[in-house]
Structure 1
């Protein structure tokens, strides 16, 4: 059974229940969600959408974006997340690879990408937008009221979602592409992950095995991959507003009676700065998209004593891989990054690289042959109980004489020390010798000299840093706000 069919069936069972609460408080029932998805599917097929058609998707999280994405997949289309704000060269390269026949964007984005004054304003704010109406894409959909700049003949989402439509005669193809997600890569070689309805449906089931969900639960998140299992379970998805402040996020957890939430670790720290104690109704706090430092795990446990705090290890290509409790991670802080029992198939190559497989593995990379196993780039080992411990990224390995130093093996143990909030190890070429200087960067109030005296009891002698640098914060990038090691190297060079 496909992902869309499972959602439609759940909606048919509980049509009067609230499925979604938007950032502005609007409510959408399961019955209305079902009707709109079927109407959009019918309208897209009538407008000429064919199986496999790519839809460049530039609509921010909202009820409209959810309905439109589900309607596209139900019609046999493929939702393409290429991010028009990635920069002109990167966006052009991604567009060339994906070759979408449709574009779906907010009316405001069409206007901002086409009208001179609006485009100039966006450019002053550092946003270089392509002209979405002039990309050679034949079909357009706009979300929101018509604005100057919306291409002539573009289909209004409001019209697509209006009315009723017949039931599909079949469930669709679970093995057909459903979503294309651009991740890493360069302008010469962009990289995009292709997921099918089947791989996404398997991922949702793995989430639900570890994360009980059902009617009466309220999940507060803007993450689609947590929102979808919420809806398939008959629970309520609460979306925060766009540009939601940490204080407002915490307030909405209370007001909407959230039982589950998801945060990037750095975002949770900001939320706890605004509100040190989370609502008692909260039963699960999920952390993901970046490693969770020990200091944040301890704060999360203290802030939500009645909740289970879980850390999710996942990759765009296969999610989730493993889920560990905060207490488990703290108990294993000196052994590398403990991520728990694997939910997907795992093996470890001779050089220590983690290899993954399973029904939740993506189909592959756009333009490449299908994948049967994913080399992750993460170095790992299994402990005596078969649980996964990450030792760091292959590309981050530092060579110090005959000693191979994997930063990820030691950073969690250092971050667990009193006075250290976060820790990261990078190598910087020594200007005098050309050898690699090992630099430990930390945040927090730990004294570097006292910290240096404690390190031999925590990490291997070969991993002891040549220099310790205290920074106000570690540099981060991307939506997941992951550690940017290249930028960190630049920072520690300046601090030399």
Structure 2
């Protein structure tokens, strides 16, 4: 079991990890391999650069980079320097990133070089209006495969340092000693804001969610306990670090458990299979579509996957057959599902020993100190010490999300069984009304996922002159016709729930965390 009762700040947990796990491997990132002791030294070095750049307690440090060891070190160094971490979605445009930098008044920007064909720093500078980047005193450019792009258009008042120069920069920082760095880390308190994670923004402008160190560590501890992680585990992180699934259920879980992190910058099924084989990966959390892709990969059987023991996934729709195949064909001893959101991170989770139907049809029982209930509308409400502190500079939205009794209104619709297992059946905003009846697409998606041949499915409401709205199913499938899909619905769903049309697509649009972007389907909807 992982215990953090006496260690409730991220700098303290990092120090503890260096003491407890010492020369055990902390990160494997290609040719880079760091022990826990070496990780602490790298973090101290970067924190010294931050302090020399003028970072004070509570300042914001933004990290806009893919899953590599640089992200881990840069983020933990932000905590060590007493700053607040602001993870930036690597899929954001320059305009979206500038919006986050301006709203958080970030003092430091850690940004990738050329990644996926995009020079992010150039895009940020091109999108910025005069004054938008005035708060930034230091830019750290992270090298990815290939040369760093030239530093053009820099503000003369903003220092730009390339990652390979950080050691020299730290040694030259005469104004900041190693003792100063340790003193700053000592000043961090459990209730200090550790991070500002922005919501996915799929239904509007993203909101910045404020969390404290104690909260980030409590949810990570609960996740590690449910998964029974330990120092022998090797944890492949395909979930992006800018998302709580990669950061809090990834990096922080490893610090608490001593597992070795193996980050993957972009998801590639062939690369995942190769890494699992080569590095003897034991833990692989991901969205359901990732596991489906691995199962369907033509080279799967040519790799040794026997090291895999734990998979953690989550979605409104996780087919029972997928859970069974993950155990039988990918070799996982344990498959768990969980439910969370940025405002709570991990609220419920299955436990080892739960049967496949429980894992597929529910998101498990309350975890991390949460109470869970479902109100008269069917909305899932959460209460506990790990509900967010609030939204950044938005007391009105905060009051709307968290009521006076402390219940977080999630916007998700669900039900609880007698054992306390939560099943998510839809979203309040995702609901449509067909002939006067409320229809929750997640229920239809769950049923369609049971049809052999269906790989992925998303249902939306489209206009109908007689009924107001009817369902349309977007399906990724093998060897099925529209009549097959509609016939299955006719046999298993009430009439008002049945989609009236089907469109087969090669893939569903998703964001970086695996959530289906239904707004992109709605743009092209036809009855």
Give the structure-2-normalised TM-score.
0.81
Question: Which moves more between the two structures, 357-366 or 137-146?
Answer: 137-146
Aligned length: 478
| Structure 1 residues 28 and 129: alpha-carbon distance in aligned structure 2, compared to 1, 3 A threshold | farther
Tell me the equivalent position of 1:124.
none
Question: Is the counterpart of residue 449 in structure 1 residue 490 in structure 2?
Answer: no
Query: Secondary structure at 2:56's aligned position in 1?
Result: coil
Question: Is the counterpart of residue 440 in structure 1 residue 473 in structure 2?
Answer: yes
From 62, 67, 86, the equivalent of 2:68 is 62
Query: Secondary structure at 1:318's aligned position in 2?
Result: coil
| Structure 1 residues 326 and 441: alpha-carbon distance in aligned structure 2, compared to 1, 3 A threshold | farther
| Structure 1 residues 388 and 215: alpha-carbon distance in aligned structure 2, compared to 1, 3 A threshold | same
Question: Is the counterpart of residue 429 in structure 1 residue 463 in structure 2?
Answer: yes
What is the alpha-carbon distance in structure 2 between the residues aligned to residue 50 and residue 404 of structure 1? 51
Contact 1:469 1:492 in 2 (8 A): no
Query: Secondary structure at 1:384's aligned position in 2?
Result: coil
From 173, 186, 189, the equivalent of 1:170 is 186
**Alignment map for 1:27-426 (pairs within 5 Å):** 27-83=33-89, 86-106=92-112, 108=114, 112=119, 130=127, 135-144=133-142, 147-149=150-152, 153-158=159-164, 160-161=166-167, 165-166=178-179, 167-168=182-183, 170=186, 172-185=188-201, 190-222=206-238, 223-225=246-248, 226-240=250-264, 242-274=265-297, 275-277=299-301, 279-288=305-314, 291-324=317-350, 331=357, 337-343=361-367, 344-369=370-395, 371=402, 372-426=406-460
| Structure 1 residues 290 and 481: alpha-carbon distance in aligned structure 2, compared to 1, 3 A threshold | farther
How far the C-alpha of 1:57 sits from its partner, in A, is 1.8
What is the alpha-carbon distance in structure 2 between the residues aligned to residue 402 and residue 454 of structure 1? 23
Contact 1:103 1:137 in 2 (8 A): no
Gap runs ≥5 in structure 2? 1-7, 172-176, 239-245
Question: Is the counterpart of residue 486 in structure 1 residue 519 in structure 2?
Answer: yes
| Structure 1 residues 134 and 156: alpha-carbon distance in aligned structure 2, compared to 1, 3 A threshold | farther
Tell me the equivalent position of 1:21.
28
Query: Secondary structure at 1:396's aligned position in 2?
Result: coil
What is the alpha-carbon distance in structure 2 between the residues aligned to residue 50 and residue 206 of structure 1? 31
Gap runs ≥5 in structure 1? 120-126
What is the alpha-carbon distance in structure 2 between the residues aligned to residue 420 and residue 112 of structure 1? 38
> Residues 161-195 of structure 1, C-alpha deviation per residue, up to 9 Å, x if partnerless?
55682343726111111211222459995411122
Tell me the equivalent position of 1:122.
none
| Structure 1 residues 355 and 128: alpha-carbon distance in aligned structure 2, compared to 1, 3 A threshold | farther
How far the C-alpha of 1:490 sits from its partner, in A, is 4.5
Contact 1:355 1:373 in 2 (8 A): yes
Contact 1:475 1:487 in 2 (8 A): no
Query: Secondary structure at 1:281's aligned position in 2?
Result: coil
What is the alpha-carbon distance in structure 2 between the residues aligned to residue 50 and residue 155 of structure 1? 19
How far the C-alpha of 1:492 sits from its partner, in A, is 4.9
How far the C-alpha of 1:403 sits from its partner, in A, is 2.0
What is the alpha-carbon distance in structure 2 between the residues aligned to residue 89 and residue 258 of structure 1? 38
| Structure 1 residues 314 and 473: alpha-carbon distance in aligned structure 2, compared to 1, 3 A threshold | farther
> Residues 112-165 of structure 1, C-alpha deviation per residue, up to 9 Å, x if partnerless?
3566xxx6xxxxxxx996369972234113234774236553345445455682
